[in-house]
C-alpha cells in the first residue's frame, strides 16, 4: 500500500488560516480558507508544510497538493492590484501560484509525482493551460461525487486536459460524505451509482490518455469548520459495496453477497442492517454502526422532530399560553408525559452510542457528534417538559 499525503496549498486552508497569527495571510479577511498568493510569508508557509509532511513520509513517491475550491481568489487588495495590469486574469493568478508550488516540489524532490484537484481548471482553455507551464508538472484529479454524474461532460473535460498535454489523470468518487453536510447514515445505493457513472467515463476515455486510478474519498467534514460527516463504522458497507462495484463492473448479486459475507451484514445498506447477537462476524465498529442507525432513525422520527408542531402543543401550549401560564392542566400533563417518554428513549440510545463511541473515538469527538445531532432534537423537548413542570402546579380548574 502506497501512502499519498494530501497537503492543501491554496484553498481549504482553514486548518491554518483560522489561527490569529495567520489571518494576515488570507486572500480576504472573511474567507478563512483561501491563501493570499502574493505574500512571501504565505509561500513560505506552504513550503514549510510540504517539507514537514514529506519528511514524515520517508520514501513518498506521490504528493497531492489540493488546490480545490479557492474561493474569493482575486478579491483581495493585492490581487486586485495584480489583476489591474492588462491581460492578467484570475485563471492566470491561480495557475501562477500552483505552478510555483509544483516547481518547488520538483526542484526539491525530483522523484515525487504531483496530483491536484481539477475544479479550478475546468473552465480554462487548452491554450491557457499550455501557456501556464502547468502541463507536465501535475496530474489533475477530476472529482464528482453525484449519482447522476454527467458522463459526456466529464469525458469532454478529460479530452480537453489531454489535448492540453495532460496525459495522466485521476478520478475521484466518494463512499461517505458528499450527500448532505449533516448526514449520519450514508446511502450505499447513492454512492454505488456514482461509481457506476465513473465506470462509464473510464470506458470512454480518449486513446492515449492514462486514467491512473480512482480515489474513493471518505469525507470527514465538508470543510475544516463544518460538522462531522458520517462516521467510518457506519459507512463501511458503502465502501465495500463501492469497491465491489468497481471490481465487478456493477453491484451484482455476487458482489452484494460478497459484501454481506465479508462484513457479516444482512444488507449493503447500513440503515437496513439487522442487529446481531454474536460477535464472531462483527467488523470493527459494527456495534457503534448499529446504534447510530437506531438513534438516527429515532432522531428523524416525525413525531419527535415535529413534536412542537403537533396539534396538542400548538393548540394548548402555544407561546401565547406559555407566556401567560394559561394552560389546560389535563392536556399539559399529557404533553409532559409524551415528551418525557421521548426524552427517556432518546437518552437510552444516546448512552449506548456514547459508550460504544468511547472505544473508537476521543471524548471530544463523541461530545461534538452528540451535541450536533442529538442536542437540537432533545433541547426543545426538554424545554417543554421544564416549562410544564414549572407552571402546572399553579394551574387549576
Q: How far is CA 153 from CA 157, 309, 378, in A?
A: 6, 45, 45
Angle between helices 375-391 and 329-357 in degrees, nearest 10: 140
Catalytic residue among 69, 75, 294, 308: 69
Give dist(CA 67, CA 80) in Å, integer.
20
| Angle at the Cα of 250 from the Cα atoms of 248 and 253, rounded to 5 degrees | 85
pLDDT value, residue 329: 86
**Residue 245: CA atoms inside 13 Å, Cβ hemisphere, count?**
26
Nearest to 342 by CA among 392, 377, 366: 377
pTM for the complete prediction?
0.90
- Closest-CA residue to 186 (of 240, 148, 226): 240
Q: Which helix (H) or strand (E) holds 127?
A: helix 126-132
Does the annotation mark 371 as catalytic? no
pLDDT in 10s for each residue of the chain, 397 residues? 899 999 999 999 999 999 999 999 999 999 999 999 999 999 999 999 999 999 999 999 999 999 999 999 999 999 999 999 999 999 999 999 999 999 999 999 999 999 999 999 999 999 999 999 999 999 999 999 999 999 999 999 999 999 999 999 999 999 999 999 999 999 999 999 999 999 999 999 989 999 999 999 999 999 999 999 999 999 999 999 999 999 999 999 999 999 998 888 889 999 887 776 666 667 889 999 999 999 999 999 999 999 989 999 888 988 888 888 888 889 989 999 999 999 999 999 999 999 999 999 999 999 999 999 999 999 999 999 998 888 765 444 3
215: β partners: 172
Q: How high is the pLDDT of residue 72?
A: 97
Total length of the chain: 397
pLDDT at residue 279 in the model? 63
For residue 22, report the phi and psi dihedrals to the nearest 5 degrees.
Answer: -110, 0
Residues near 394 by beta carbon (within 8 Å), at least 6 away in sequence: 325
The predicted structure's pLDDT at residue 319: 87
- CA atoms of 141 and 213, how far apart (whole Å): 9
Nearest to 94 by CA among 77, 64, 119: 119
Written out in words, the top-level CATH class of the domain with range 14-230 is alpha beta
Return d(Cα 133, Cα 168) in angstroms, integer. 16
CA distances 334 to 117, 204, 385, Å, are: 56, 63, 11
Task: Please report, for the chain, the start and end positions of each structural domain, with discontinuous segments joined by +.
Answer: 14-230, 301-394
Amino acid at each position: 500500500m502506497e501512502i499519498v499525503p494530501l497537503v492543501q496549498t491554496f484553498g481549504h486552508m482553514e486548518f491554518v488560516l483560522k489561527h490569529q497569527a495567520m489571518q494576515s495571510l488570507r486572500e480576504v479577511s472573511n474567507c478563512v480558507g483561501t491563501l493570499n498568493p502574493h505574500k512571501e510569508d504565505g509561500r513560505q508557509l506552504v513550503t514549510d508544510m510540504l517539507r514537514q509532511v514529506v519528511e514524515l513520509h520517508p520514501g513518498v513517491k506521490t504528493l497531492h497538493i489540493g488546490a480545490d475550491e479557492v474561493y474569493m481568489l482575486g478579491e483581495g487588495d493585492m490581487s486586485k492590484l495584480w489583476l489591474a495590469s492588462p491581460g492578467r486574469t484570475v485563471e492566470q493568478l491561480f495557475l501562477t501560484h500552483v505552478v510555483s508550488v509544483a516547481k518547488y516540489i520538483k526542484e526539491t524532490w525530483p522523484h515525487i509525482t504531483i496530483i491536484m484537484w481539477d475544479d479550478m481548471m475546468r473552465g480554462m482553455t487548452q491554450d491557457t493551460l499550455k501557456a501556464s507551464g502547468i502541463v507536465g508538472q501535475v496530474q489533475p484529479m477530476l472529482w464528482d461525487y453525484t449519482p447522476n454524474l454527467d458522463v459526456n461532460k466529464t469525458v469532454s473535460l478529460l479530452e480537453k486536459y489531454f489535448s492540453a498535454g495532460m496525459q495522466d489523470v485521476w478520478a475521484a468518487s466518494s463512499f461517505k460524505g458528499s450527500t448532505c453536510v449533516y448526514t449520519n447514515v450514508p446511502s450505499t445505493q447513492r454512492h454505488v451509482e456514482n461509481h457506476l457513472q465513473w465506470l462509464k467515463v473510464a470506458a470512454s476515455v480518449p486513446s492515449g490518455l492514462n486514467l491512473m486510478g480512482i480515489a474513493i474519498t471518505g469525507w470527514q467534514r465538508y470543510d475544516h469548520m463544518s460538522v462531522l460527516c458520517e462516521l467510518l463504522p457506519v459507512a463501511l458497507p458503502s465502501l465495500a459495496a463501492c469497491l465491489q462495484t468497481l471490481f465487478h463492473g456493477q453491484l451484482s448479486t455476487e458482489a452484494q453477497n460478497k459484501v454481506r459475507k465479508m462484513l457479516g451484514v444482512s444488507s449493503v445498506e447500513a440503515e437496513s442492517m439487522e442487529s446481531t447477537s454474536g460477535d464472531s462476524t462483527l467488523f470493527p465498529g459494527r456495534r457503534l454502526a448499529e446504534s447510530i442507525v437506531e438513534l438516527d432513525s429515532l432522531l428523524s422520527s416525525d413525531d419527535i422532530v415535529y413534536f412542537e408542531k403537533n396539534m396538542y402543543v400548538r393548540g394548548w401550549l402555544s407561546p401565547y399560553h406559555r407566556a401567560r401560564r394559561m394552560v389546560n392542566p389535563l392536556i399539559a400533563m399529557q404533553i409532559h408525559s409524551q415528551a418525557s417518554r421521548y426524552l427517556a428513549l432518546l437518552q437510552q440510545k444516546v448512552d449506548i452510542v456514547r459508550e460504544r463511541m468511547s472505544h473508537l473515538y476521543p471524548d471530544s469527538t463523541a461530545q461534538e457528534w452528540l451535541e450536533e445531532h442529538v442536542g437540537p432534537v432533545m433541547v426543545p423537548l426538554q424545554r417543554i417538559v421544564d416549562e410544564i413542570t414549572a407552571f402546572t402546579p399553579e394551574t387549576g380548574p
